[in-house]
Structure 1
Amino acid sequence: MATNLTLEPAELPTDAVEVGRIADAWGVKGWFKVLSHSSSPEALFSSKRWYLQPSERGAKTFAGTVLLSIRQAKDHSDTVVAWAQGIDDRDAAEALRGARIFVPRSSFPSTTEGEYYWIDLIGLAVVNREGVALGQVQELMSTGPQTVLVLTYEQDGKAQERMIPFVSAFIDNVDLAEKRITVDWQPDY
């Protein structure tokens, strides 16, 4: 496959967040399918500048970080499709297959009161009402009806995990500035 893929080298922004991957070409005019890391891919739609890095595995058609100026990104049948400047045919779109997509956190849409991006919660300390440290948010997990905070902590020198439902019944306060979540939860739950 020979393609004239010319991508603009760029530096990854310090607040860059990986939001998805390019899956494959879509159609013949340079559109491509995107596998979003989120069930609500607003960050993909709000940012017109995507930063790409090559996949860790497989053939690499570019190196380092490159900037992709997005002409259009939209939902299409349970997936996201996008079209970028300079990607004008199927071969060029296929050359991006597997690329990791990053967007600056600063370009994410604003959240409403009581709404948080998962990326903003990861790393926060979790304490209960009595001030007892319960752990640090390692990841979040969707269980269907609710989201669960997965905390890591150490007990007797061993790494442990604790899960707390991220629902108003247990979450008293999220303080992003203080990097702390206060919960109604006990260590022995």
Structure 2
Amino acid sequence: MSAEAPRAERRVTLGRIAGVYGIKGWVKLVSSTRPAEGILRYPRWWLSRPGSTEGYEAKLLEGRIHGAGLVAQLSRADGTAIEDRDSAARLVGLEIAVPRSALPPTKSGEVYLIDLVGLSVRSVTGEPLGVVESVTSNGAQDVLVVRDAAVLDEAGGPMQRLIPFVRGPIIESVSLEANEIVAHWQPDW
């Protein structure tokens, strides 16, 4: 994902197609939305291979909770339903994304993690720490992956910092308007 793309135009990955379900073209989903069934609220999906900008639109015809997971039936952008197992099998491994603009507005003080990508990060003392390249999770909290092109690592590439996204003790402030995150973090950490 390009950090330079306007926030509203970015695609947000909400999950992936994990397998086929039955013989009538249904697929099993892995959702990263909270709650998991939130992915079923979006009628149009962008399907693509991980890391690729190439892909195509699909429409959600039907979806539901099935056991501990989710299943769905899709159609192609032209409305043709995917109705057989072989066609569904070709979708396995594809990521499911929607335009950032399709997400509901955030409440005051909240941000979508995708909106942090591309923001500059500086310490509370004003020292630049780099730019948010991506956001990951360690299970306990979300973690900012910050690249600092001004500092080289042992291999000669830009320094990478992993900064926990914990408001208060670590993250002082986030300003989308100023394109900046201020953190209680030091350049030598």
Query: Contact between 1:118 and 1:140, CA under 8 Å: does it hold in 2?
Result: yes
- Which of 6, 12, 16 is the matching residue for 2:11? 16
Find the aligned partners of 1:77 and 1:125 in 2 and give their Cα distance.
42
Which consecutive unaligned segments of at least 5 residues does structure 2 have? 1-7, 76-80
1:167 correspondence with 2:166: yes
1:185 alignment partner, SS class: coil
Find the aligned partners of 1:55 and 1:144 in 2 and give their Cα distance.
21
Tell me the equivalent position of 1:181: 181
Q: 1:123 to 1:24 in 2, by over 3 A?
A: same
Tell me the equivalent position of 2:151: 155
2:118 alignment partner, SS class: coil
Q: 1:80 to 1:108 in 2, by over 3 A?
A: farther
Q: 1:183 to 1:20 in 2, by over 3 A?
A: same
Task: State the TM-score, normalizing by the size of structure 1.
Answer: 0.73
What is the Cα deviation at residue 95 of structure 1? Answer: 3.2
Tell me the equivalent position of 2:129: 134
Whichever residue aligns with residue 164 of structure 2, its letter is P
Percent sequence identity is 39
**Number of equivalences:** 169
Q: 1:50-70 deviations in whole A, cap 9, x for unaligned?
A: 1223678xxxxxxx6432111
- Which of 90, 93, 100 is the matching residue for 1:95? 90
Find the aligned partners of 2:113 and 2:121 in 1 and give their Cα distance.
15
Which consecutive unaligned segments of at least 5 residues does structure 1 have? 1-12, 57-63
Indicate the RMSD between aligned Cα atoms, in angstroms: 2.8
Find the aligned partners of 1:96 and 1:141 in 2 and give their Cα distance.
25
Task: State the TM-score, normalizing by the size of structure 2.
Answer: 0.73
Whichever residue aligns with residue 51 of structure 1, its letter is W
Q: 1:161 to 1:16 in 2, by over 3 A?
A: closer
Query: Contact between 1:46 and 1:108, CA under 8 Å: does it hold in 2?
Result: no
Q: 1:73 to 1:178 in 2, by over 3 A?
A: farther
Tell me the equivalent position of 1:6: none
- Segments of 4+ in structure 1 off by > 4 A? none
Whichever residue aligns with residue 161 of structure 2, its letter is R
1:80 correspondence with 2:80: no
What is the Cα deviation at residue 92 of structure 1? Answer: 3.0
Whichever residue aligns with residue 98 of structure 2, its letter is V
